[in-house]
Amino acid sequence: MLSGAAVGLTLGLVGGGGSILAMPLMIHVLGVSSPHLAIGTTAAAVTASALVNLALASRSDIKWRCVSLFALSGVAGAAAGAALGKRMNGDHLLMLFGLLMIIVGALMFRPRSSASETNVELDMHSAAHLAPRLIALGVGTGAVSGFFGIGGGFLIVPALVLATGMPMITAVTSSLVAVAAFGLTTATSYAIAGLVDWRLAGIFVAGGVVGGLLGTRLAQHLSAHKNLLARVFATLVVIVGLYVCIFRSS
Residues with Cβ within 8 Å of 92's Cβ and at least 6 positions away in sequence, in order, are none
Distance separating alpha carbons of residues 184 and 224, to the nearest angstrom: 35
Interatomic CA distance for residues 152 and 9, integer angstroms:
17
The predicted-structure confidence for 7-38, as pLDDT tens digits, reads as follows: 877 766 665 666 678 888 888 889 888 889 99
The CA–CA distances, whole Å, from 23 to 31, 40, 209, 244 equal 11, 9, 17, 10
- The residues, any chain, with a CB within 8 Å of residue 222's CB and separated by 6 or more, are 13, 229
Backbone angles phi, psi at 67, to 5 degrees: -75, -25
Single pTM value for the model: 0.79
pLDDT digits (tens, 9 = 90+) for 60-102: 678 888 999 999 999 999 999 999 998 888 778 878 888 887 8
> Does residue 136 surpass a pLDDT of 90?
yes
What's the pLDDT at 202? Answer: 93
Residue boundaries of the structural domains of the chain: 2-112+125-249
